[in-house]
Amino acid sequence: MKKQTNPKLKPLLVLVSMFILFAVSTLAALTLTSCDKEDPDPQNATTFPVPSYPETPEDADAVLIAIKASTPFAMQTPIEIPGMPGGSSEITMEYGMGVALFKGNAQAGSVKLNNTTLKFSNGVYMWQPDFTDLTNPSSITGVDLSGNISWEVTSPNIEKTLTGLPGMPKVTSGKVMTKIDGYTLTNVSVSGANKILYGVYSSNGKYVLKEKAGNSTSITFSKEELAELGNTKNGIIQANAYVITNETIGGKKVYFIRQSSYSLTNVEIK
């Protein structure tokens, strides 16, 4: 039987994409600052959406989300960063993130994802990369999600180990988008995903999201869909492969989301 995504989970999927976008745009801003200290071009300004915090679906007592994010950057490294080449080069940043929400945005006792404790803020538990200290690898790479996904929660008590994340849907299409022509986004084929959520983000806070089956390798955005996007040289294209399962544990209905997200930065939208 074909699996359908609970429509009440869609705001959470959008929320996760925004968390990743926020992290990616932060790093992009840092790399742009290091490369272009005095850039008068207004198209290089970045103002991306800030994550909001929706409540869990009515039938969910908890939603636990594990995400691996991958982003390639062409950057000039001003300082020595452990494990990264110096000078001008393209590097791929990969970092593991965790997000946990409970009914009514309540606070649990503690939440751990693969032995990493998530911090509670504004009704949401999360781990996000801290790019203010690039000399500390753990602040960048985050939660180790290379193997199984293990959740440990107290009050309510939830323990669950799941198999790994879907494959990473690396974007292979070009980085120049002419709105009037439409745009076809292409990505590598991945396994283990229910769906792929695609996004195009411009720096005026506008974005377009579309979704296809987990085995999708392309999606087309029409000129009408792209019309509201602002012109920018720092747009972001995103492909998010995810799988959703749910289980009742200790009388609590828990949704588990496992997601691999690839973001392509410095996209020109014109």
pLDDT tens digit sequence for 256-268: 999 999 999 889 9
The confidence score (pLDDT) of residue 184 equals 98
As a whole-number percent, the residues of the chain with pLDDT over 70 amount to: 69
The confidence score (pLDDT) of residue 130 equals 66
Task: Assign 119 a pLDDT band (cuts: 50, 70, 90).
Answer: very high
CA 240 to each of CA 1, 194, 262: distance values in angstroms, whole numbers, following the listed order: 23, 11, 6
Are 64 and 26 in contact, with CB atoms under 8 Å apart? no
CA 98 to each of CA 32, 101, 140, 149, 166: distance values in angstroms, whole numbers, following the listed order: 27, 10, 13, 10, 15
Burial (CB count <10 Å: 0-12, 13-18, 19+), residue 87: exposed
Bridging pattern class, strands 252-269 and 62-77? parallel
Q: Which of 41-50, 72-81, 163-172, 174-183 shows the lowest mean pLDDT across its residues?
A: 41-50
Q: pLDDT digits over 189-229, tens only?
A: 999 999 999 999 997 888 999 999 999 999 999 999 999 99
Question: In this structure, what token pair is assigned to residue 89?
Answer: 């080069």
Residue of 52, 268, 41 whose CA lies nearest to 176: 268
Q: What's the chain's Rg over C-alpha atoms?
A: 19
The confidence score (pLDDT) of residue 81 equals 54
Residue of 69, 71, 62 whose CA lies nearest to 30: 71
- Residue 210: beta bridge partners? 198
Q: pLDDT digits over 72-86, tens only?
A: 876 555 555 555 555
- What residue ranges in 53-113 does DSSP mark as E strands? 62-77, 87-102, 110-113
Q: What's the average model confidence in pLDDT over 28-35? A: 47
How far apart CA 142 and CA 148 sit, in angstroms, is 15
3-state DSSP call for residue 94?
strand
- pLDDT at 152 exceeding the cut of 90: yes
Burial (CB count <10 Å: 0-12, 13-18, 19+), residue 186: middle
Q: Which of 99-103, 131-135, 157-161, 165-169 shows the lowest mean pLDDT across its residues?
A: 131-135
Q: pLDDT digits over 227-264, tens only?
A: 999 999 989 999 999 999 999 999 999 999 999 999 99
